[in-house]
A and B are shown apart, each in its own frame.
Chain A
Amino acid sequence: DTGVSQDPRHKITKRGQNVTFRCDPISEHNRLYWYRQTLGQGPEFLTYFQNEAQLEKSRLLSDRFSAERPKGSFSTLEIQRTEQGDSAMYLCASSSMDTYEQYFGPGTRLTVT
């Protein structure tokens, strides 16, 4: 079991550019979550997938954000036309239907200049 992995670990981009992050969950986990965390705060829920279906999306997620999980395995989170306020750590977590524990990946730190 290799744990949840995320790529890239760090991303610096200029305002207005598009960025895409990838998350690979623990292999047998069919539930996948994206969170955003800013300095000094706890993670904030963004969206949830069960297998390939996106079942919930936070109101925090503007229409510039889109997430996919095409085959129920890895997931991508894309931010279009980035703004400075998008600077944060983007965390991915996964869990199985049988247990409740969510395991987090190392995160992608986004800096928008």
Chain B
Amino acid sequence: QQPVQSPQAVILREGEDAVINCSSSKALYSVHWYRQKHGEAPIFLMILLKGGEQKGHDKISASFNEKKQQSSLYLTASQLSYSGTYFCGTEGMNTGFQKLVFGTGTRLLVSP
């Protein structure tokens, strides 16, 4: 089943924060986050593995709650370049490889 992302869309002013959530009904091994700009390929942001770790670089971080099968992406002090559609890709248990099922997407627009 496709993971569900929320919200579907967010509009921010530059410098504001945002949280994007990804929920799955299946047990997960990993969650991958990507950002995609219109007409371009998805760009890898980060991966979280089973174990509930939190990761981050620069002003983007993420967490993975394996008990709830949920991941959240945190965007702090947003920049114009953060605009795009964010997808989570989930990997189930025992797939043997990173067969990702992507979420419904969250459109983020950062305005000046």
Binding site for B on A (CB under 8 A): 4, 31, 33, 40-45, 48, 50, 55-56, 91, 95, 100-107
Closest B-chain residue to A31, C-beta based? B97
- Chain B residues packing against A (C-beta within 8 Å): 2, 30, 32, 34, 40-44, 47, 49, 87, 89, 96-105
Quote the shortest CB–CB distance from A87 to chain B (angstroms): 15
For A102, give its contact among B32, B49, B96 (CB under 8 Å). B32
Complex alpha-carbon distance, A104 and B41, angstroms? 6
Indicate the member of A50, A100, A102, A104 with the most B CB atoms within 10 Å. A100
18 residue pairs bridging A and B, Cβ less than 8 Å apart = A4-B41, A31-B97, A31-B98, A40-B105, A41-B105, A42-B87, A42-B104, A42-B105, A43-B87, A43-B89, A44-B102, A50-B97, A100-B30, A100-B98, A104-B34, A104-B42, A106-B40, A107-B41
Partner of A56, one of B34, B41, B99, B102: B99
Q: Give the tally of cross-chain contacts (CB within 8 A).
A: 56
- B30: chain A residues at CB < 8 Å are 100
Q: Is the CB of A102 within 8 A of B41?
A: no
B95 CB, min distance to chain A CBs, angstroms: 8
Kindly list chain A residues whose C-beta atoms are within 8 Å of the C-beta of B2: 42
A105-B103 CB under 8 A given contacts A42-B87, A100-B49: no
Q: How far is the CA of A105 from the CA of B2 in the complex (A)?
A: 23
